[in-house]
Structure 1
Amino acid sequence: MKGFLGRLLLAFILVPLIFCSCTEEQDFNQFNDLQITPLVASSLIYLESDEATINAVGGLGNFYVQTINFDAFNEQFVSENLLEGTLFYEIDNTTSKQLAITIEFLDAANNVLDVESFDVQPNQPTTFMREVDYGPTGKNLNILRETSSIRVAASNLSDSTSISSDPEPKVILRTAAEFLFQLK
């Protein structure tokens, strides 16, 4: 009997406390104040060539030319919501060659919108890095929005006979990008 009375007393105390507890009215309109700005990162271009391939093409010639389709911003929603972008370039060159690498951003009519050029010194002891901003603190953001393809060209500015002392001489170009979008 004591157990039953104890439970009944506990129920009489807890039930009013539950209804009198501190609750705050919920605001479901917070979604209208929400700002969503995701940062999307991606690799773009990877080029690797060994010194034998560069020598086979001969001196003072292109050893690599490629046009890459780039329709990342062809969707209107994506293009309109792009706030800024940053492209990252890294180049390693352990060959005995002085090289020129050119990256051109082309629109749908193959007009050049922007160019990044690199004079790559032979036997670089460290990785060359460049960061290029597009948007409020950098180049015009419309360059990225209107880019339909990217042309990459790499040229040998040296002879075709010199050989690096590195056991596996090669040039490597890596590019990556980060894009900031406003989704709401």
Structure 2
Amino acid sequence: MKRSFYLLLCFAVVLMLSQSCTEQQDFGQFEDLSITPTLATGLFYMESDEATINDAGTFGTFYAQTVNFDAFNEEFVADHLIEGTITYEIVNTTSKQLRITIEYLDEAGNTLDGELFNIDADPSGLMTWEVAYGPGGKSLDILANTSNLRLTATNLSDAISVSSQPEPKVKFKSAAEFLFRLK
């Protein structure tokens, strides 16, 4: 009899503990969840010495490259892009005035957008430009439809002058930061 009383008492205690330590789960919180990660990446890096620029001649193109850029090719990624910023940095220690052009191209090779940079001869110092896409900036459709990026650099000066700087070069780099809403 004592044994059945203790067994009944243990069962009652376990039943009360299991009910007192739990609360109703609210799985509706997932609907209120907002996930917005930021993705940062490098886009371009171009470096050229003054001898290469001189070899291109006056008003000659010393650098031209088209690279594939299918970052937004996936519909999920393109549909969830909120905004983006592309930052360009240029340092010119050559004796040359230069023009650097970036074109955003669609799959057919049509230009969707472009950036044109006219760079003074040495000493130009570090020049930085930021271009916003999304609210308050350029259209996100430009990024979503970009398939290739084309970079062209042109010498706007003579083909004989030489900078007094040690190892004169032009350096161009760009980076991008994109904000997505995953839910």
- TM-score class, shorter-chain normalisation, is 0.7 to 0.9
Q: How many Å apart are 1:136 and its aligned residue?
A: 1.0
Report what 1:54 is aligned to.
53
Q: Distance between the aligned counterparts of 1:126 and 1:61, measured in 2? A: 23
Correspondences of 1:138-149 after superposition (within 5 Å): 138-149=137-148
- In 2 relative to 1, CA 68–20 (structure 1 residues): closer, same or farther, beyond 3 Å? closer
Question: Residue 174 of structure 2: SS of its match in structure 1?
Answer: strand
Q: How many Å apart are 1:59 and its aligned residue?
A: 1.4
Report what 1:128 is aligned to.
127
Q: How many Å apart are 1:148 and its aligned residue?
A: 0.5
Question: Residue 27 of structure 2: SS of its match in structure 1?
Answer: coil
Q: How many Å apart are 1:60 and its aligned residue?
A: 1.1
Question: Residue 83 of structure 2: SS of its match in structure 1?
Answer: strand
Q: What is the percentage of aligned positions where both structures have the same residue?
A: 60
Q: Distance between the aligned counterparts of 2:133 and 2:87, measured in 1? A: 11
AA at the equivalent of 1:175? S
Q: Distance between the aligned counterparts of 1:130 and 1:57, measured in 2? A: 26
Report what 1:78 is aligned to.
77
Q: How many Å apart are 1:158 and its aligned residue?
A: 0.4
- In 2 relative to 1, CA 65–28 (structure 1 residues): closer, same or farther, beyond 3 Å? same
Q: Distance between the aligned counterparts of 1:19 and 1:31, measured in 2? A: 26
Q: Distance between the aligned counterparts of 2:72 and 2:91, measured in 1? A: 29
Q: Distance between the aligned counterparts of 1:77 and 1:113, measured in 2? A: 21
Query: Residue deviations 1:10-39, cap 9 Å, x none?
Result: xxxxx9x96797765432321121001111
Report what 1:157 is aligned to.
156
The root-mean-square deviation of aligned C-alpha atoms, in Å, is 2.0
AA at the equivalent of 1:93? N
Q: Distance between the aligned counterparts of 2:156 and 2:89, measured in 1? A: 19
Q: Which moved more, 1:117-126 or 1:171-180?
A: 117-126
AA at the equivalent of 1:142? D
- In 2 relative to 1, CA 19–145 (structure 1 residues): closer, same or farther, beyond 3 Å? closer
Question: Residue 29 of structure 1: SS of its match in structure 2?
Answer: helix
Structure 2: unaligned runs, 5 residues or longer: 1-13
AA at the equivalent of 1:153? T
Displaced runs of 4 or more, over 3 A: 17-26
AA at the equivalent of 1:66? Q
Number of aligned positions between the proteins:
172
Q: Distance between the aligned counterparts of 1:141 and 1:164, measured in 2? A: 41
Q: Distance between the aligned counterparts of 2:75 and 2:123, measured in 1? A: 42
Q: Distance between the aligned counterparts of 1:20 and 1:68, measured in 2? A: 62
Report what 2:25 is aligned to.
26
Q: Distance between the aligned counterparts of 1:23 and 1:124, measured in 2? A: 70
Q: Distance between the aligned counterparts of 2:85 and 2:25, measured in 1? A: 40
- In 2 relative to 1, CA 34–22 (structure 1 residues): closer, same or farther, beyond 3 Å? same
Q: Distance between the aligned counterparts of 2:23 and 2:136, measured in 1? A: 43
